[in-house]
Amino acid sequence: MPDVFDEDGLTIKTLSEITEEIEDDMKDIYGDDISIASDSPDGQQINIVSQEGADLRELLSSVNAGFDIDQAEGAVLDQRVALIGLTRNAGTFTYQDIEITIDRALGLVGLDDEALTIDEDDLPQGLFTVRDGEGNLFYLLQTQAFTGAGTYTCAFRAAQIGKVEVISNTITTIVTVVAGVTAVNNPSAASSIGRDEETDSQLKLRAKISTSLNAVGNLDAMEAALLNLAGVTVAKVYENDTDVTDADGLLPHSMRAIVEGGDPDEIAAVIYAKRSFGCRMMGDQEVIIERTYSRSMVIKYDIPVQQDIYIRFSLSGAPYVESTIKDNIVSELFWEIGYNADSSTVIAYLKSLNSRYVITDCELSLDGVSWSETVSIGSLNDRFINSTDRITIL
């Protein structure tokens, strides 16, 4: 197979083809009786040159593939998606409220202006740091000056960017020893769980959605465009094209966008650009869009409304810590906006924690009184929210 770069792409020789080609050239020069065995000087020279040629071709192939978003990786992928107006979603930090118990007046050094730094060299000297049972470090966010003994609740930030699992009552180790600080503890789970940096596969999928926005219907295009906004985690768009109010409460010839996260002005701009002409909008959130000639338009949409859900089940088959199981459910089991909840989802999640778990009598409830295997959402913008107070292990 020759080295070719044409309209069909790049084709390169394999290592065996390169080796065979060099061997034939050597025989043409020195005759067929030349010794090219792998342990001979000529054979070793051929193998070195062949491997070098193969490595250079692989490098060339990698560079060429990097021009294709589907094949690009890492920093090269960042450069390619920038051409279509996208940037990789950066990771975020986990934030945690921690109780600090002291026996005297004292001060503690916080991150202050370095609240977003990840470089250890930029951290303030004497930064008050604590650690959980898994070795995760947490930094005090703001410098504190306590006037007397007591227990104070302060905000901390995880040292590492990305998702850091935090279980209540596990951050108990003082790393930065300060006279007067007697104990630390986190009585609750994280106030905000960090997000990992967008992976190559996730960025490629978002790039595909972005470039196909105009190739689908208005609703799908609007939903895709909303999901493409920075900070938007969930977006659902519904439409009623009939002459009567539908079962979900949508008025005749209306649409309803439900968006979680993101900037309101950017959300409104997408809805304004993508909605069908004459289609009325529904929603409690209102943003004014300024148009030409001093005209304006009110854009409406909704944000998710949290709805409590109760969960109970029996668990056996392997040892477990009840508080840990509850914390894991709260931090990792999420319900989709506008979708009903069922016990099979809970069972599947528990099985993912330990395949030996035996889960029985798994039921859900909206009030903690009436229980069933499935509970229905109240409206399209409702979202079930878990809480350790509403989880019972029988």
Whether residue 363 sits in one domain with residue 296: no
**What's the pLDDT score for residue 37?**
84
Whether residue 382 sits in one domain with residue 318: yes
pLDDT in tens, 187-246: 988 878 888 888 888 888 878 766 665 555 677 788 888 888 888 878 888 888 888 988
Residue 14 lies inside a defined structural domain of this protein:
yes
Phi-psi region of 126 (alpha: psi -120 to 50; beta: other; left: phi over 0): left
Residue 106 CA to residue 181 CA, distance in Å, equals: 9
**What's the pLDDT score for residue 213?**
57
Residue 145 CA to residue 107 CA, distance in Å, equals: 4
Whether residue 120 sits in one domain with residue 147: yes
Residue 6 CA to residue 11 CA, distance in Å, equals: 9
Percent of the chain at pLDDT > 90 equals 28
**What's the pLDDT score for residue 8?**
75
Whether residue 177 sits in one domain with residue 116: yes
Among the candidates 65, 81, 105, a domain finishes at 65
- Give yes or no for residue 138 having a pLDDT over 90: yes
**What's the pLDDT score for residue 211?**
66
Q: Which of 1-10, 130-139, 147-156 has the lowest mean pLDDT?
A: 1-10
DSSP 317: S
Contacts of 389 (CB under 8 A, 6+ apart): none
Residue 73 CA to residue 88 CA, distance in Å, equals: 12
pLDDT in tens, 68-91: 788 888 888 888 888 877 888 888
Residue 156 CA to residue 25 CA, distance in Å, equals: 68
Using 50, 70 and 90 to split pLDDT, how confident is the model at 135?
Answer: very high
- Give yes or no for residue 391 having a pLDDT over 90: yes
- Give yes or no for residue 1 having a pLDDT over 70: no
DSSP 35: -
Whether residue 180 sits in one domain with residue 121: yes
pLDDT in tens, 154-190: 999 999 988 888 888 999 999 999 999 999 999 988 8
Whether residue 232 sits in one domain with residue 167: no
For the record, the structure tokens of 164 come out as: 């850091």
Among the candidates 301, 332, 353, a domain finishes at 301
Using 50, 70 and 90 to split pLDDT, how confident is the model at 137?
Answer: very high
- Give yes or no for residue 385 having a pLDDT over 90: no
Residue 231 CA to residue 88 CA, distance in Å, equals: 12
**What's the pLDDT score for residue 14?**
87
**What's the pLDDT score for residue 212?**
60
Residue 78 lies inside a defined structural domain of this protein:
no
Q: Rounded to two decimals, what is the model's pTM?
A: 0.49
Residue 15 CA to residue 25 CA, distance in Å, equals: 16
pLDDT in tens, 37-50: 888 888 888 889 88
Whether residue 56 sits in one domain with residue 22: yes
Residue 257 CA to residue 237 CA, distance in Å, equals: 4
Higher pLDDT, 7 or 122: 122
Contacts of 295 (CB under 8 A, 6+ apart): none
Domain that holds residue 289: 212-301
Picking from 65, 93, 70, the residue whose alpha carbon sits closest to that of residue 81 is 70
Residue 160 lies inside a defined structural domain of this protein:
yes
**E strands within 57-111?**
95-102, 106-108
Residue 311 lies inside a defined structural domain of this protein:
yes
Higher pLDDT, 154 or 118: 154
Q: Is the separation of the CB atoms in 315 and 362 below 8 Å?
A: no
Beta-carbon neighbour count of residue 263 at 10 Å? 13
Residue 200 lies inside a defined structural domain of this protein:
no
Whether residue 284 sits in one domain with residue 355: no
Whether residue 107 sits in one domain with residue 49: no
For the stretch 315-324, contacts whose Cβ atoms lie closer than 8 Å and that sit 24 or more positions apart, written own/partner, are 315/350, 315/357, 315/358, 315/359, 315/393, 316/357, 316/358, 316/360, 317/354, 317/356, 317/357, 317/358, 318/354, 318/356, 318/357, 320/354, 320/357, 322/393, 323/167, 323/168, 323/169, 323/388, 324/167
SS3 assignment, position 56: helix
Residue 79 lies inside a defined structural domain of this protein:
no
What is the average pLDDT across 380-392?
A: 88
Residue 82 lies inside a defined structural domain of this protein:
no
Residue 307 CA to residue 382 CA, distance in Å, equals: 6
C-alpha pair distances (Å), 22 with each of 32, 50, 51, 59, 142: 13, 8, 11, 20, 67
Among the candidates 50, 65, 80, a domain finishes at 65
pLDDT in tens, 293-350: 888 889 899 988 888 999 999 998 888 888 888 988 887 888 888 889 999 999 998 9
Q: Is the separation of the CB atoms in 241 and 253 below 8 Å?
A: yes
Whether residue 35 sits in one domain with residue 19: yes
The number of distinct structural domains making up the chain is 4
Residue 72 lies inside a defined structural domain of this protein:
no
**What's the pLDDT score for residue 215?**
54
C-alpha pair distances (Å), 198 with each of 89, 217, 233: 5, 27, 12
Whether residue 358 sits in one domain with residue 323: yes
pLDDT in tens, 278-290: 788 888 888 998 8
Share the mean pLDDT of the chain: 87
**What's the pLDDT score for residue 214?**
58
